[in-house]
Amino acid sequence: MAEVIDTVIVGAGHAGLALSYYLTRNGTEHIVLERGNVAERWRTERWDSLVFQFPNWSLQLPGRAYPGSDPDGYASKDEFIRFLEDYVSIIRAPVRRDTEVVALREVESRRSMILETTRGVIEAKNVVVATGPFQVPKIPALSRDLPRDLFQIHARDYRNPDQLPLGAVLVVGSGASGTQIAEELNRSGRKVFLAVGRFHKTPRRYRGRDFYWWFDKLGYWHTSLTSMPPESKNLRFVVTAVDGGHDVDVRQYAASGIVLASRLKNADQQKLEFHDDLERTLAEGDAWYAEFVRKMDDYADRCEPPLAAEQVQPRPKNSASNGLKGILELNIRDEGISAVVWASGYACDFSWIKMPVLDGNGDPIHERGVATRAGLYLLGLRRTYSIGSALVAGAVNDAAHIADHIASLESRS
């Protein structure tokens, strides 16, 4: 016999826990199901040295702000996990650990849904999927064309340099994961090759403020996607919080010994081929950077008093940071490459949702997290409402919206 609960949240990360707070405030009966422990992906699917991307002062969940003494610092992986664990205790979130949802089905009457879990069956009127955007590793099909003895690992499963066999390493992908892993491997003494994709070059700090602050003030985090210009809807910004935070400068990587290439094009048992567009990629990043600096300066000069001007150091001429073309081919054996780290992103897996609510790509059809099936909601996904929807602050805003939507339905029933 199924256990009956009004509302079930699937996932005990920051998004699901923020929603739990609002549901409790509204008096909505609910539970939070977690396949493992609170912040499970941070515990088991992140590398050892990972640092939270954004300043500690941005760690603000409803009813709980960052409690430490270093608001401008950056939390380690363990510190972030502890922040969420403490939050569960403070808000007394009804979390059920080690309870994985294996299927979500429609009840014949359509008045409720059935969640089949590893610990029994639950019937719920409302279900909120808060499983996050980083679910299933995306690895290019050409990975199957590489030598069978070449060690391959996705960023999700990478932990530290000692995990990899001795030798050079190819890192594919230049997002937050790829750049941080490439830096770590380079510092450990490995020869590193980095396949660079398109990204928007972003300063870690400018005029005394973290880039997170600037994105907030300039309206990037919380503006609805429908109100944003097309060029701002798919920002691929890359920053790092390692060693107190610094700019991610791909050109500087070359100066530090990392060998750069553009996007991976082809692969076989002997060699790798790359696209010939690294210069264009870097130029596009520079153009975005210059425009972003202009916007920051305009805003800073309007402040009362104006923010202190940035002391910009001119780039030296004819240095290793200029005129990068990137390698076009790479012989795996000749370069001594023993491992490939695929920092090639993630996809979502909603195959466990056994209802006609997905589009042709397998993604849920929804409007700001409200699905086409009444009572089904999505929270914490990328671009649910804004480009910041998967981040802590964005997920909090979307959680409040969903909690209010659930409350409004209950008041009418």
Q: How confident is the model at residue 311 (pLDDT cuts 50, 70, 90)?
A: low
Q: How far apart are the first and last CA of the chain?
A: 25
List, for residues 221-238, the tens digit of each pLDDT value: 989 998 988 877 788 888
pLDDT confidence band for 316 (50 / 70 / 90): very low
Residue scoring higher pLDDT (313 or 329): 329
Mean pLDDT value of segment 102-116: 94
What residues pair up with 246 in beta bridges, in sequence order? Answer: 240
SS3 at position 106: strand
* 144 pLDDT above the threshold of 50: yes
Q: What are phi and psi of 27, to 5 degrees?
A: 75, 25
Spell out the residues 6+ positions from residue 349 whose beta carbon is closer than 8 angstroms to its own.
135, 136, 362
More confident residue, 309 or 312: 309
Helix (H, G, I), strand (E, B) or coil at 233: coil
> Is the peptide bond between 305 and the residue preceding it cis, with omega within 30 degrees of 0?
yes
Single-letter residue type at 237: F
Mean pLDDT, residues 203-218: 95
pLDDT at residue 320 in the model: 41
Please spell the DSSP secondary structure of 40-86, one letter per residue.
HHHHHSS-TT-B-SS-GGG-EETTEE--SS-TTS--BHHHHHHHHHH
Summarize the confidence of residues 106-115 as an average pLDDT.
92
194 pLDDT exceeds 50?
A: yes
Task: Give residue 393's identity as a one-letter amino acid code.
Answer: A
Is pLDDT above 60 for 403? yes
Where residue 310 falls among pLDDT bands split at 50, 70, 90? confident
Q: What is the pLDDT of residue 357?
A: 95
With contact defined as beta carbons under 8 Å apart, do 237 and 179 qualify? Answer: no
Q: Is 342 left (phi over 0), alpha (psi -120 to 50) or beta?
A: beta
Q: Report the amino acid identity of residue 40.
A: E
Burial (Cβ within 10 Å: 0-12, 13-18, ≥19) of residue 151: middle
Instruction: Show the domains of the chain with their CATH numbers.
Output: 3-135+348-412 (3.50.50.60), 141-342 (3.50.50.60)
Report the pLDDT value the prediction gives residue 315, as an integer from 0 to 100: 47
CA 132/CA 310 separation, integer angstroms: 37
Confidence band, pLDDT 50/70/90 cuts, at residue 264: very high
- pTM of the prediction? 0.93
pLDDT recorded at residue 313:
47
Question: So what's the pLDDT on residue 67?
Answer: 94
What are the tens digits of pLDDT across the range 15-49?
999 999 999 999 999 999 999 999 999 999 999 99
Q: Looking at residue 321, what is its pLDDT?
A: 42
Q: For 245-257, what is the mean pLDDT?
A: 94
Residue 193 pLDDT greater than 70, yes or no: yes
Cα separation, 255 vs 118, in Å, equals 51
For residue 153, the model assigns a pLDDT of: 98
The pLDDT score that the predictor gives to residue 322 is 53
Mean pLDDT of the chain: 93
Average pLDDT of span 384-407: 93
Decide which of 129 and 109 is more confident. 129
Which residues contact residue 261 at a Cβ distance below 8 angstroms, ignoring those fewer than 6 apart? Answer: 193, 194, 195, 196, 272, 274, 278, 326, 327, 328, 330
Residue pair 366/359 in contact by the 8 Å Cβ criterion: no
pLDDT band at 108 (very low <50, low <70, confident <90, very high): confident
Using CA of residue 210, residue 211, residue 214, residue 219, what is the dihedral sign?
A: negative
Per-residue pLDDT of 352-379, as tens digits, reads 999 999 999 999 999 999 999 999 999 9
What does the pLDDT read at residue 413?
64
**Cα Rg for the chain, rounded, in angstroms?**
23
Mean pLDDT of 47-60: 95
Q: How far apart are CA 21 and CA 7, in angstroms?
A: 13
Q: How confident is the model at residue 159 (pLDDT cuts 50, 70, 90)?
A: very high
| Residues in Cβ contact with 320 at an 8 Å cutoff, skipping those fewer than 6 apart | 251, 254, 255
What mean pLDDT do residues 64-93 have? Answer: 96
Question: What one-letter code names the amino acid at 322?
Answer: N
Query: Max alpha carbon distance in the chain (Å)?
Result: 74
Phi, psi of 51, deg, nearest 5: -120, 140
- What's the pLDDT at 164? 98
**HSE of 54 in the Cβ direction (CA atoms, 13 Å)?**
18
**DSSP notation for 291-348:** HHHHHHHHHHHHSSSPPPPP-PPPPPTTSTTSS---BSEEETTTTTEEEEEE---EE-
Angle at alpha carbon of residue 200, lines to 394 and 283, rounded to 5°: 170
